[in-house]
């Protein structure tokens, strides 16, 4: 597994431009999700829920919730974390991300705003310096009794551990689409030509059960679902 700073520098080498945006390939894989099945029972029976989707913008997910009368907020945190302005050095000169600035620019909501947070595989790919601060902020914006769904790899399968965006296509069915990055030329401050980035986000670490329990220790309960594809699904309740 490559280090955080290596991944980070690989992503931004030679660039002072804007954050990247995910480009979607057409390849989609369907998988069943026990965590989603349990979670979906809440939005099928309740009205007017407030849902936060932290994955790449998904038309499916927006349609899924708005058709049921729920409000959905979309915020692609992984893409937001690639903003070059977040790059700082720590006291030892190592490349890190400025978590304070990140949380000043992202996840800015009133306390206890959301009934459901769809975290997807964000913690596996998010820079180490952001993981705990982000989970702390998620705790504060989730309502007491609100639920959060997250996915974790159980092993590092290298190229077979691509970062996916998740589309809800049924009560317990997801479509997964590999995320590839492209430079968003329109947002360039310098007007420079777009730079193709063929690599997607890379797995930063593999959490074991104890790590996950520790990560969500401020939450009231945590439930694990182990799937066949080396993904551990986690449903936590604040």
Partner 1 sequence: MSAPASGLAQIGKSVFIKGELSGSEDLYLDGHVDGSIALKGNNLTVGPNGQVKASVEAKGVVVQGKLDGNIQASDRVELRKSAVVNGDISTQRISIEEGAFLKGKVDIHRTDTK
Chain contacts with partner 1 (rule: CB under 8 A): 21, 23-24, 57, 59, 62, 66, 71-76, 79-80, 184, 186-187
CB 111 within 8 A of CB 141: yes
- Would you give the DSSP letter of residue 17? S
Nearer CB in complex with partner 1: 74/154: 74
Q: Could you tell me the sign of the dihedral formed by the alpha carbons of 16, 20, 25, 28, in that order?
A: positive
Nearer CB in complex with partner 1: 17/35: 17
Nearer CB in complex with partner 1: 163/212: 163
Q: Considering the complex, what minimum distance in angstroms separates the CB of residue 69 from partner 1? A: 8
Nearer CB in complex with partner 1: 27/208: 27
Q: Considering the complex, what minimum distance in angstroms separates the CB of residue 121 from partner 1? A: 19
Q: Considering the complex, what minimum distance in angstroms separates the CB of residue 62 from partner 1? A: 5
Q: Considering the complex, what minimum distance in angstroms separates the CB of residue 59 from partner 1? A: 4
Nearer CB in complex with partner 1: 57/154: 57
Nearer CB in complex with partner 1: 188/205: 188
Cα separation, 154 vs 166, whole angstroms:
18
Helix, strand or coil, per DSSP, at residue 73:
strand
Long-range contacts of 182-188 (CB under 8 A, 24+ apart): 182/20, 182/21, 182/22, 182/23, 183/15, 183/17, 183/20, 184/18, 184/19, 184/20, 184/21, 187/17, 187/18, 187/19, 187/21, 188/17, 188/18
CB 210 within 8 A of CB 193: no
Query: CA-CA distances (angstroms) from residue 57 to 63, 77, 166?
Result: 11, 10, 9
């Amino acid at each position: 597994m490559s280090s955080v700073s290596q991944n980070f520098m690989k992503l931004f080498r030679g660039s002072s431009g804007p954050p990247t945006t995910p480009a979607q390939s057409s390849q989609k894989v369907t998988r069943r999700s026990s965590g989603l099945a349990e979670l979906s029972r809440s939005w099928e029976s309740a009205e007017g829920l407030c849902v936060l989707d932290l994955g790449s913008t998904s038309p499916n997910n927006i349609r899924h919730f708005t058709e049921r009368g729920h409000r959905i907020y979309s915020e692609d945190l992984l893409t937001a974390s690639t903003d070059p302005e977040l790059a700082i050095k720590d006291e030892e000169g190592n490349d890190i991300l400025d978590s304070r600035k990140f949380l000043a620019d992202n996840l800015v909501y009133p306390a206890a705003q959301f009934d459901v947070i769809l975290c997807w595989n964000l913690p596996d790919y998010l820079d180490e310096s952001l993981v705990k601060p982000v989970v702390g902020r998620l705790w504060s914006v989730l309502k007491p009794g609100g639920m959060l769904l997250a996915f974790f790899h159980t092993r590092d399968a290298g190229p077979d551990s691509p970062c996916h965006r998740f589309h809800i296509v049924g009560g317990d069915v997801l479509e997964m689409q590999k995320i590839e990055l492209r430079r968003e030329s329109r947002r360039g401050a310098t007007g420079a030509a777009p730079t193709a980035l063929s690599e997607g986000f890379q797995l930063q670490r593999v959490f074991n059960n104890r790590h996950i329990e520790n990560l969500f220790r401020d939450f009231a309960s945590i439930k694990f679902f182990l799937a066949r594809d080396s993904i551990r699904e986690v449903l936590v309740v604040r």
